Chain A
Amino acid sequence: MYDINRAESAVTQQDIKISASKVQVYYGDKHAIKDVDVEILDKTVTAFIGPSGCGKSTFLRCINRMNDTIPIARIEGKILLDGEDVYDRRVDPVQLRAKVGMVFQKPNPFPKSIYDNVAYGPRIHGLSRNKAELDEIVEKSLRGAALWNEVKDRLHEPGTGLSGGQQQRLCIARAVATAPEVLLMDEPCSALDPIATSQVEELIDQLRENFSVVIVTHSMQQAARVSQKTAFFHLGNLVEYGNTDDIFTNPQDSRTESYISGRIG
C-alpha cells in the first residue's frame, strides 16, 4: 500500500490530501457506496464522473461528513484527511467542514444580503480583522466566482433574489471566501452559461495552486479541461481512477469506455 502511494506521488509530485479506503455508505437498507478506495492529491483537481444516481454526491458528502445530517445514512470504512481519520470520535465535524468546504448541487443562498452571504464564513471563523479586510475578501471571492460585475452595485440586496446561475456562483464565492484546504464542488456549473462556466473553471485552476479541489460534473469536456485526476463511479462502485488523460484516451474498464463515449449513463 505504502509503496503504491509513493509511486503515485512521485508521478504527480503531490502529497496525498485525502485517502479513502473501503468506504461503504448505506441509506437505510440501500447500499449506495460500495467499497470505494481513492486517494485525492493535494494541489490537484479531481473530477468525479458517472451516471446520475451512481453515488458521486454521496461520496463527496462523506468527505466533509455532511452525511451526518441525514439520519438514515450510515458510513463505514476510513477516510483520512492529512493522515487523520475524519470519522474518528475526536474529530469535530465543525472544524473539519471549515477545512473542507463544499458547494452543493442545488444553490442554497442564505436569506441574507449578497454581501452577508459571502461574508458569512469569514465572519464565523474570524478571518478578517476589520471591515476593510472583510470587504476585500468579499470582493475577491465574488470576482473569482465571476459574479462581481453583476452584483457590485447591489451587494446589500438579498441573495435569494438572484437568478439560478447567479445563486450558484454566489454559493461558489461563499465557499471560496472561507479559504478551505479542500473544496468539494457538486456540479458547480450545472446552471451556468458557457462564459460563466469558463470563468469558474479558471477559478478552479487558480484554486489548485493552493488547494485541492474535487469537482462532480456531468460534462466530459469539463472534466477533461479542469481536472488532472478523474474517478469514474458506476452503481456505487469506483470503477476506475487515474490521470485524466489516461481515463479519457485509454480507459481500462469497458464501462468507463462506454460512459465517456456516451453509450451508458
Chain B
Amino acid sequence: MPLSWALLVSLALAVAGYIIGRSRAFASAGTDIRKLHSRPGYHGASVALTTLTPAIVVLMLASVLRMAKVFPPEATGFAGLLALAASVAGLGWGVTRINTDFRARNVVEKIVQGFLIFCSSIAILTTAGIVLSLIFETGHFFQKYSWTEFFFGLNWTPRFQGNSSLGILPLLWGTLYISFIALLVAVPIGMFAAIYMSEYASKRVRGIAKPAIEILAGIPTIVYGLFALITVGPMLRDYFAQPLGLGSSGSSVLTAGLVMGIMLIPFVSSLSDDIINAVPQSMRDGALGLGSTPSETIKQVVLPAALPGVVGAVLLAASRAIGETMIVVLGAGAAARLGLNPFEAMTTITVKIVSQLTGDNDFAAPETLVAFALGLTLFVITLGLNVVALYIVRKYREQYE
C-alpha cells in the first residue's frame, strides 16, 4: 500500500475519531454537560489527534529510512500497513480514555504545542545541518591546504593543474570595499527618505511613496546587475575613470558599490521608517510642547530614540551587501585584486564561490573545496553581523515596552 494512501485512510479515521469522541463525551456527561472536564469538541479533537499522530510518526520514519536506503522500496507496503495499524490502535485507545474527568483540553493543547515546537525546530535543525556540512567540507580543505595561507595569503590564483594560491584576503577586501561603498550610498539616502516619509510627508504622499519604495525592494538583483553592466559601468568609465586617468575598465568597485547601494535604499528606508514610526507620538509632543522646531525634535528626540533600531537596520543591510553576488559579477568583474582604486575591477567572496563550483568539479581538489571554506567564512561574518543587529534591535524594543 503506498504511503499516501495510508495517510488518507488515517485522516478519514481521524475524522471518524473526532465524531465518535464527541458523541462519547456527550453520552458520558448525561444530562449535565458541565460535569465534563473539557468541552466535547476537545474530546473529539483528542481522539482525532491520538489517531493521526502515531500514523504520521510511522510514515515519517518510513520515508526517512527509505531515503537513507536502510530498507528496500518493497517494504513500503509493510510500512503503510504498520501506519494504519498504529492509527487504529490510537483510535481505540483514545476512545477508551473518554470519561467526564478526562482532561481532553490539556491533552489537545500539549499535542498542538508539540507540533509547534516541531515546526520551529525544523528551521533551526536545517541551519545546523547546513553549517555542519560546511564545517565538514572545510575540514577537508584544510587538510589539503594550509589555513594560515588561506586566511593570510595575499594572492588568489587558483590553477586547476594544482599549485594554486588561495588567499582569502583579496576577496575579503573586495567584499568589504564594495559593501562599504554600497552602505555609503544606501544609508544616508535611505535614512533621509525615511525621515521625510515618517515626519514630513502628508498622508497622501506617504500612501503612494511607501508602497512604491517597497516595490523597489522586490526587483531581482540580476536586474540591478544588468543596469550596472550596461549603464552605470560604461558611464563611470567614460565620464570619470578615463578623463581622470584612473583606469579603463567597464567593471569597477564603484559600479558595483553604487548599484548595490541603490538596491539597498528601499531596504534601509522601509526598515528605518518602521522604526521611526515606532517612536511614540507622545515623545514628539513632549519636544514640540517645549517649543522645539520639528527639525530639532527629529534631531534631538526622535532620531536618538530610534538610533539603536536604525543601527540594527544598517547592520542587516550590511549583511545583505556582503552576501550579494549577481551585482558584483556584472558590475565589478571577477578579478581578485587588493587595491584602493575604486575604478578598478575587483571581486568578492560570493563570486569566487560560484566560479570555483561551476564547471567540472573534482571534490578532492583544494581548488574546489576552497568554496566551502569561503562559504563558512562568509557565513560567520554575516552571522556575527546579524547577531549584533538583532541584539541591538531587541534592546531598542525593550525601551518602550
Contact = CB atoms under 8 A, between A and B. Distances in A.
Interface of A: 64, 66, 69, 71, 93-99, 101-102, 104, 106, 108-112, 120-121, 124-125, 160, 171, 174-175, 178
Given A124-B300, A160-B399, A108 B282 contact: yes
Interface string B329-349: 000000000000000000000
Contact of A110 (B283, B288, B291, B293): B283
Interface of B: 203, 280-293, 296, 300-301, 304-305, 399
Given A66-B288, A98-B290, A104-B289, 12 more contacts: A64-B289, A69-B285, A95-B291, A110-B283, A110-B286, A110-B304, A120-B292, A121-B290, A124-B290, A124-B292, A171-B286, A178-B290
Contact of B399 (A69, A98, A101, A111): A111
Nearest to A64: B289
A188 to B, nearest CB: 13
A110 B279 CA distance: 10
6 contacts: A101-B290, A104-B285, A109-B286, A120-B287, A120-B292, A175-B289
Contacts of B284: 69
Nearest to B306: A111
Nearest 8 pairs between A and B by C-beta? A98-B291, A108-B282, A102-B289, A108-B286, A97-B291, A121-B290, A111-B305, A94-B293
Contacts of A178: 290-291
A78 B288 CA distance: 22
A111 B282 CA distance: 12
Nearest to B284: A69
Contacts of A97: 288-291
A57 B377 CA distance: 58
B280 to A, nearest CB: 7
Contacts of B282: 104, 106, 108
A125 B291 contact: yes
B59 to A, nearest CB: 53
A66 B292 contact: no
Given A108-B280, A108-B282, A108-B283, A101 B289 contact: yes
Nearest to B290: A121
A93 B203 CA distance: 21
A171 B282 CA distance: 12
Residue among A98, A104, A110, A111 facing the most chain B CB atoms (10 A cut-off): A111
Contacts of B290: 97-98, 101, 120-121, 124, 174-175, 178
A193 B293 CA distance: 34
Nearest to B279: A111
Contacts of B287: 110, 120
Nearest to A105: B282
A178 B300 CA distance: 16
Given A110-B301, A111-B305, A160-B399, A104 B291 contact: no
A104 B296 contact: no
Contacts of B304: 110-112
B289 A66 contact: yes
Given A106-B282, A108-B282, A110-B301, A124 B289 contact: no
A225 B283 CA distance: 31
A147 B286 CA distance: 19
Contacts of A96: 291
